[in-house]
Amino acid sequence: MRGDSRILPSEITPEPVYLARRSFLAGLAGAGLAAASTPALAQVVNVTLVPRLEFRRNARYSTAEKANSFAEVAGYNNFYEFGTGKEDPARNAHTLRPRPWSVVVDGECEKPGRLDLEDLLKPHPLEERIYRLRCVEAWSMVIPWIGLPLGDLVRRFQPTSRAKYVEFTTLLDPKQMPGQRYGVLDWPYVEGLRMDEATHPLAILAVGLYGRVLPNQNGAPLRLVVPWKYGFKSIKSIVRIRFTERMPRTSWPLSAPREYGFYANVNPAVDHPRWSQKSERRIGAGSLFSRQPTQPFNGYAEEVAELYRGMDLARNF
Kindly state whether residue 1 falls inside one of the protein's structural domains.
no
pLDDT of residue 45: 57
Q: Which of 198, 277, 243 minimizes the C-alpha distance to 104?
A: 243
pLDDT of residue 33: 36
Position 21, amino acid = R
Spatial distance between the Cα atoms of 141 and 285, rounded to a whole number of angstroms: 9
Do 201 and 74 meet the contact criterion of CB atoms below 8 Å apart?
A: no
- In eight-state DSSP terms, residue 20 is H
pLDDT of residue 60: 94
Kindly state whether residue 101 falls inside one of the protein's structural domains.
yes
Domain CATH code at residue 276? 3.90.420.10
Q: Count Cβ atoms below 10 Å from residue 119 Cβ, excluding itself.
A: 11
Report CA 209 to chain centroid distance, whole Å.
13
Spatial distance between the Cα atoms of 141 and 136, rounded to a whole number of angstroms: 12
Do 211 and 195 meet the contact criterion of CB atoms below 8 Å apart?
A: no
Per-residue b or e along 177-190, where b marks 16 or more CB atoms closer than 10 Å to that residue's CB: bbbbbbebbebbbb
Tell me how many domains the chain contains: 1
Alpha helices (H) along 57-204: 70-75, 88-92, 117-121, 150-156, 195-198
Q: How many Å from the N-terminal Cα to the C-terminal Cα in the chain?
A: 20
Backbone φ/ψ region at 297: left (φ over 0), alpha (ψ -120 to 50), beta = left
Kindly state whether residue 152 falls inside one of the protein's structural domains.
yes
Do 264 and 229 meet the contact criterion of CB atoms below 8 Å apart?
A: yes
Domain limits for position 206: 9-308
Kindly state whether residue 4 falls inside one of the protein's structural domains.
no
For the four alpha carbons of 264, 86, 19 and 27, in that order, the dihedral sign comes to positive
- In eight-state DSSP terms, residue 109 is B
Kindly state whether residue 95 falls inside one of the protein's structural domains.
yes
Looking at every residue in the chain, the average pLDDT score rounds to 87
Which ranges of the chain have pLDDT less than 50?
Answer: 1-44
Per-residue b or e along 241-255, where b marks 16 or more CB atoms closer than 10 Å to that residue's CB: bbbbeeebebbbbeb
- In eight-state DSSP terms, residue 163 is -
Kindly state whether residue 24 falls inside one of the protein's structural domains.
yes
Kindly state whether residue 314 falls inside one of the protein's structural domains.
no
pTM: 0.86
Q: Which of 239, 218, 282 minimizes the C-alpha distance to 79?
A: 218
Do 132 and 65 meet the contact criterion of CB atoms below 8 Å apart?
A: yes
pLDDT of residue 196: 98
Kindly state whether residue 313 falls inside one of the protein's structural domains.
no
